[in-house]
Amino acid sequence: MLYGSTRGGSFDVTALEAILRGIAPDGGLYVPENIPDLSGLKGESFLQTARQILAALFPEFALQAEAMAGKAYAGHFSHPDITPLVPVGDSHVLELFHGPTAAFKDVALCALPLMMNAARERTGDTDEILILTATSGDTGSAALAGFREVSGIRILVFYPEDGVSPVQKAQMVTMAGKNLKVCGVRGNFDDAQTGVKEVFASYQPPEGLALSSANSINIGRLVPQMTYYFTAYAALVRQGAIQSGDQVNFVVPTGNFGDILAGYLAKKAGLPVGKLVCAANANDVLKDFIQTGLYDRRRALRQTLSPSMDILVSSNLERLLYFVSHDPAFIAGCMEQLRTQGFYQVPKEYMEQIRETFLTGACSDGEGLDAIEKVWQRHHYLMDPHTAAAWKVKEELEQSGRLPGANVVLSTASPFKFPGAMAKALGLALNDDASAAEILGQRLGLPVPQSLTGLQAKPVLHQDVIDPRDMLAYVQNKAVGSW
């Protein structure tokens, strides 16, 4: 199988090259020339399902896929099912936060370092790799944990200085590792993400060094996330909630459109997915796009209680536009117009295809807090603010009759990453700092993920903060200098 750029026209890149590069030279995102038929996957074991998906989408790894899946997931997740499906009321919640940093990004970022090293070995590439990553909260700590002490790879993470929760920030700035660097940006996630893309576009690294990405712009980040859609479906069948072949709806809190696009790939690969629900917060650019066909980032980005969704430029939407249009020139034109004018309009025929699969809705901070409180009171189940946004949108669509059948809400992070929001929702007096997760756990009698404990006592190892305009110079300096 070969890969090509969304803005190109030819499929002439191997999976190995696509994973190592992260982003195409023309600024586009890599997509496979075809989506293999995976309708025969049973999805009963996470490790076996991951192996089959990796082998199908990245055939160069076929002989290594089983060992790779085992090394990525066995012993690194606190739940034996890796991503368990939990009944909550009449719906189900797919818990994706049992990994090393308590967020769904762990599912992909436990595998991506293994794939990158295997790709280097297969291609004979001896260049050192510098991973550049922008994070809206959870990608940063997951990428740092995944690439920590990986030989031949360094990683530099940029995060919005005041745009993540205190626990998320503490996870990153206290992370130790000789090959890790974390830097705050005086701005929002879009500033950090745009800065990283500009570095890819304009920076020519010195000989012996290559740039790559751990964001979901890297196809190696996206493909492993297909796994939990298949295993969730199988769990519903085992639990008797559906019959094999029945369609299932997945409700996904999303900002950068990566997690939900993995569900779209699963649907195209043959999983019986009914609707994919794009749940937004107050930064509802995706909701407006799905409803109107106009993608318009010309609005102020709002800082919310669900910071991983505080995004106005959703990178992975570019891949969806490619899958419905198969028109690289159209994609390139849209992305250029977005860059220069801040918006683009998608033709009606493409939007009709998108709306066949995607529903949408949005959730304010207040509505999210209400959802957290109600689900806790009714079901004694604690949801983080991103999951709460998805739950609220799910209930709204159910009540209007637009979401019949079995519904699965994706829970993208542990609620203990956001103790301040939990305290607001439940009426608790709690300081919102790095120690609050443990105090919240004690108050509620719930276990706290190990990775979120003891953060207050750890030394701050990464203190750099820069303006977005200085990101290129910062990368140039760090690429050749000391950490």
Note the pLDDT tens digit of each residue in 13-30: 999 999 999 999 999 999
Catalytic residue among 105, 267, 394, 417: 105
pLDDT score, position 432? 87
pLDDT score, position 94? 98
pLDDT score, position 20? 94
pLDDT score, position 147? 95
List CB contacts of 240: < 8 A, sequence separation 6 or more: none
Three-state secondary structure call for residue 32: strand
pTM above 0.85, yes or no: yes
Q: Which residue has the tokens 């009449």?
A: 90
Per-residue pLDDT at 483 exceeds 80: no
Q: Tell me the average pLDDT across 177-188.
A: 96
Alpha helices (H) in 112-188, listed in sequence order: 112-123, 138-147, 166-173
Residue 483 is which amino acid? W
Per-residue pLDDT at 364 exceeds 90: yes
Q: Tell me the average pLDDT across 272-276.
A: 98
CA dist 303 and 311 (Å) reads: 10
pLDDT score, position 482? 73
pLDDT score, position 137? 81
**DSSP category for residue 442:** H
pLDDT score, position 136? 84
Q: Tell me the average pLDDT across 285-310.
A: 96
Per-residue pLDDT at 407 exceeds 80: yes
List CB contacts of 428: < 8 A, sequence separation 6 or more: 422, 440, 443
Closest CA to 276 of 374, 359, 337: 359
Has 105 been annotated as catalytic? yes
Q: The CATH number of 82-102+222-417 is which of 3.40.50.1100, 3.20.20.330, 3.30.1330.10, 1.25.60.10?
A: 3.40.50.1100
Q: Give the torsion through C-alpha atoms of 433, 438, 441, 445, to 10 deg.
A: -150
Angle between helices 419-426 and 436-444 (to 10 degrees): 40
| H or E stretch at 395 | helix 385-399
Break the chain into its structural domains and give their ranges. Answer: 82-102+222-417
Rounded (5°) CA angle 198-464-213:
35
Q: Tell me the average pLDDT across 102-122.
A: 95
CB atoms within 10 A of CB 5: 25
Rounded (5°) CA angle 113-100-236:
100
Three-state secondary structure call for residue 297: coil
Q: 167-197 burial by CB neighbour count: b if 16+ within 10 A, else e? A: bbbbbbbbbebebbbbbbbebbbbbbbbbbb
Q: Starting from the edge strand earliest in sequence, which strands make up the sheet with 153-160, in order?
A: 209-213, 128-134, 153-160, 180-185, 465-466
Share of the chain above pLDDT 70, in %: 100
Which band of pLDDT confidence, cut at 50, 70 and 90, is reported for residue 166?
A: very high
Longest dimension (CA), the chain: 60
* HSE-CB for 57 with a 13 A CA cutoff: 28
Q: Tell me the average pLDDT across 222-244.
A: 97
